[in-house]
Structure 1
């Protein structure tokens, strides 16, 4: 609910504090006193378009501040926190809107600057405004459908949610089936290419690291003579000539060892060096033997070299097509085999999707029938309830009709379109809301619908915390005005209701009565804090008398006002 509104420098208002209580609050005052500016200030807090022309002449900016009380655990509170707003422990959420005379507007929520759209999003959940400029909501097919579904009750809403899920599932299955069918030829072509590639890999049968091993072998076989020359040179250096004419490293090291051994007994340190020279000799003997073994294995093999080169060429061609190495080829074959299994199973998947789609269609059709049946029943009940309300709102002979028009196919919200039609008087044709009805009549239709939604025992409508009505009583008087007040009071049992009215019959039903008046500051009219006051007792009777006759001191008007208050109290 709205706890209070503070306004500065907006239109005729200099400074105003508007406290709002639970139940029904009536705002009254002379024409031009500033009641409209109070609603303009509220509209700013609700994220509506800012008009720099509304800034009070001579001021640099207008400011509207409002305190909303919300459930700290509600979705609204969570959305406010997401925007960075801070809520008090008691759930108080402060909204501020400033409008500069130069035209710039700024919005704040819970102490944080936020986009105007955030205020509008929060306000949509907190406040519903009905006035001459708010008829679009009633004309919207989406809102009409939502109102009917809410009126149908919680069980219907649960079935509708199940229908929505089934419809989304059906759409997903349709899209998947369309994709399977549309790209079937592409997948078949891909499978053929994979089979050809895998067959080639299977024919070549590459082994892990084979390309690297063959490269080493090819290099060795291609340089046999160079290797043989190098071995002969190395053996000569180590062993010398066979005839002994040239000494090699082995004999030189052996000669060094014997020379040292002859004198090693004279110095223990030299004995250790003898051991090391002996080890060098052993190593040279092993190296000489290994070179001999290598030389025996080293043989020119042109046939083997040709085979190695041919195998390398085959592997290179395969690797060039699949990653550049044999290991990359093997990885491609592994992943491609899995992909081929998936592609070969597409036919089975297509059949499974078709079966699932048929089942989804059946379930969706069944749920659509349930939704349509519930809407048909609710449409009759809502039309009857609203028509009854209209009869007491100076619209005798008016009738609301809720038409359900079957669609060409099942849509996201059911099998039919919902449209509310108004018969403004007996004998008139039913026409869409907003066509052939005055703004005042539409305001009363809105009131009738809101009362029906809020008071019907079977309704599942989520009633917003606050309703604001402006000129809902336009064009009515007498008994009809009393009925407007009675219905506003009935609605106020469910939520907070604020009404700006010129009718004493409506204001008499209010739980709280605020009067807006103007003062004179020099040559300028202005509304100050003292000019927005709550009246009760004799003051309230005097205000109602003024509204009835224009004379707050008329004895007859005062008696009539007192009678209105008494009857409204009894009527509730």
Structure 2
């Protein structure tokens, strides 16, 4: 939701600030007062092309900024009694926030600041959250927050892609779209894999041969994780066998000579001496310190016995010269593998395991291709089923949308006008996916009949600016009602009242107010019957500045009697008692 729009030095507007209502806001004023500059400001912060000619005379640059609420929770009710659109803003705002975060911009206190600086000469700057960004980023973010329906903005709906998006939005077919997108992506990935297999050249086949030979070489050696470290440790022990044997024997001769076998010295060993000390202390038969020390010596004797046992195991030999040769040979084999596919043995094993899968893809054997083609056919059938489910929902939604829009047009001074939405199967030609594409298998076309007897023509090529604005109002209104809300989007309508008057003008205002129940709507209008429905009204007027005598454009919110006076001016050109009474009556009656 647009919380605030600020403008400086843009055309005749030297400085203005408006805080639109959460519901319907009307921008009024005499012709030529500069209402279009507010729309220009909104287009600028939406990433539109900028021109230095729009900068106010004598100013160095123009500046526009929009502050948008992107909080994903309902805000407090606004002063005019309408519920803020913050809560409904979740879906559109969520996408806008995602685009901003992708550009490195985080919302501040649930708000996004979109700004544009346009110098009198030179390139403009797009600013998001206080940071300069590419204009395309501003366009992406604003595209999720604002929809402008003016004569120059309606052409977007003429594109087939926009019409498909609008129909899907009205249909609320997110579940079916997601299901189709998943199977389509799987099908596209399979087609890419098959194409790669079928178009393999000599280099790919050579790569497959290399991988197979490498896998065979590694498998022949059959390396085991951590094996190289274990072998190097064993080699070190064998190479130092003499020193190990001498050291262990010397230690055992001191600790327990009996473990040395025949010919061992009769001298008492360390274990014997400690045991004798234990017996001597135990023989005192007095407790206290002697018993404690005897216990400590018993523990020492046990530890010494464990040490003796461990050292005896090391006397069994560290391996022969033949063992050393075999170990060195194995280490050499492993080193060769690590040199080619390492640097570590674990890297060699990981490379081999990955190469196995790569060979499967590179080996374009008939059996492999046939297997993948079978899997591809299964995916294609699933995609056809998902596309059919999506098609059925689109056809139903198209019928309802076209019928209800045509009914709305009759109340918007477009009697006899109608809209038909045609959903047909796409002609895929020679495409391997037939009629299917990334968004289903449908061609969608909005066909508009402006008056009875007129041929159906593609939307955007068969209506004037005002008619197209009213057509878009009817579309937005019916789509919002079909999907249970307009998701908090900010809609801006310009020229929607062109050629409208009387009862049709009242109905136009009523429908704008209906759309504003669940979304924010800003309308630029010259009709009192439309402005009277607004929750807030701003008047754009030219005024001579007393200090300079120059004429500047001001933007002022009107309330109370001031608003009644503006409505009266719009009705009759000036505020007479009769027009004021009529204005009060119109304001009282303009409620849903």
TM-score w.r.t. the length of structure 1 is 0.70
- In the other structure, the counterpart of 1:563 is 585
* Cα distance change, pair 556–139 in 1 and its aligned pair in 2 (3 A): same
Distance in 2 (CA, whole Å) between partners of 1:13 and 1:188 is: 70
Aligned partners of 1:152 and 1:375 also within 8 Å: yes
The Cα offsets for residues 133-168 of structure 1, whole Å up to 9 and x where unpaired, read as 101222121111111112222xx3211221122122
2:157 aligned residue (114, 138, 143) = 138
- In the other structure, the counterpart of 1:424 is 450
| Cα root mean square deviation, aligned | 3.4
- In the other structure, the counterpart of 1:501 is 525
The Cα offsets for residues 383-426 of structure 1, whole Å up to 9 and x where unpaired, read as 01111111111111011000122212222222220000001111
- In the other structure, the counterpart of 1:231 is none
The Cα offsets for residues 301-329 of structure 1, whole Å up to 9 and x where unpaired, read as xxxxxxxxxxxxxxxxxx9xxx9xxxxxx
The answer to whether structure 1 residue 466 and structure 2 residue 483 are counterparts is no
- Runs of 4 or more, structure 1, over 4 Å off, are 184-199, 334-345
Aligned partners of 1:147 and 1:461 also within 8 Å: no
- In the other structure, the counterpart of 1:546 is 569
- In the other structure, the counterpart of 2:425 is 406
- In the other structure, the counterpart of 2:240 is none
* Cα distance change, pair 352–512 in 1 and its aligned pair in 2 (3 A): same
* Cα distance change, pair 367–55 in 1 and its aligned pair in 2 (3 A): same
Give the aligned length: 439
Matches within 5 A, 1:221-232: none
Aligned partners of 1:151 and 1:461 also within 8 Å: no
- In the other structure, the counterpart of 2:264 is none
Matches within 5 A, 1:25-64: 25-64=25-64
Compute the displacement of 1:60 (Å): 0.9
The answer to whether structure 1 residue 103 and structure 2 residue 122 are counterparts is yes
> What secondary structure, in the 3-state scheme, does the structure 1 residue paired with 2:436 have?
strand
Compute the displacement of 1:88 (Å): 3.0
Compute the displacement of 1:108 (Å): 2.1
Aligned partners of 2:197 and 2:363 also within 8 Å: no
The answer to whether structure 1 residue 87 and structure 2 residue 107 are counterparts is yes
- In the other structure, the counterpart of 1:375 is 394
Identify the range of structure 1 (431-440 vs 65-74) with the bigger mean alpha-carbon deviation. Answer: 65-74
The Cα offsets for residues 341-365 of structure 1, whole Å up to 9 and x where unpaired, read as 8577844422321221111111111
- In the other structure, the counterpart of 2:302 is none
Distance in 2 (CA, whole Å) between partners of 1:120 and 1:191 is: 47
Aligned partners of 1:127 and 1:464 also within 8 Å: no
Compute the displacement of 1:196 (Å): 11
- In the other structure, the counterpart of 1:366 is 385
Aligned partners of 2:200 and 2:364 also within 8 Å: no
The answer for unaligned runs of 5 or more in structure 1 is 207-318, 324-330
Compute the displacement of 1:197 (Å): 12
The answer to whether structure 1 residue 487 and structure 2 residue 511 are counterparts is yes
Aligned partners of 1:151 and 1:460 also within 8 Å: no
Compute the displacement of 1:187 (Å): 7.2
Distance in 2 (CA, whole Å) between partners of 1:520 and 1:48 is: 31
Compute the displacement of 1:174 (Å): 2.1
- In the other structure, the counterpart of 2:17 is 17
* Cα distance change, pair 158–191 in 1 and its aligned pair in 2 (3 A): closer
* Cα distance change, pair 399–185 in 1 and its aligned pair in 2 (3 A): same
- In the other structure, the counterpart of 1:179 is 196
Larger radius of gyration: 1
1:436 aligned residue (450, 458, 462) = 462
Compute the displacement of 1:110 (Å): 1.8
The Cα offsets for residues 437-495 of structure 1, whole Å up to 9 and x where unpaired, read as 11111111111100011112xx2786353111111111111111111111110010011
* Cα distance change, pair 356–546 in 1 and its aligned pair in 2 (3 A): same
Aligned partners of 2:508 and 2:530 also within 8 Å: yes
Aligned partners of 1:177 and 1:350 also within 8 Å: yes
> What secondary structure, in the 3-state scheme, does the structure 2 residue paired with 1:422 have?
strand
Matches within 5 A, 1:189-208: none
1:517 aligned residue (530, 541, 544) = 541
Aligned partners of 2:486 and 2:518 also within 8 Å: no
Compute the displacement of 1:170 (Å): 1.4
Distance in 2 (CA, whole Å) between partners of 1:482 and 1:25 is: 16
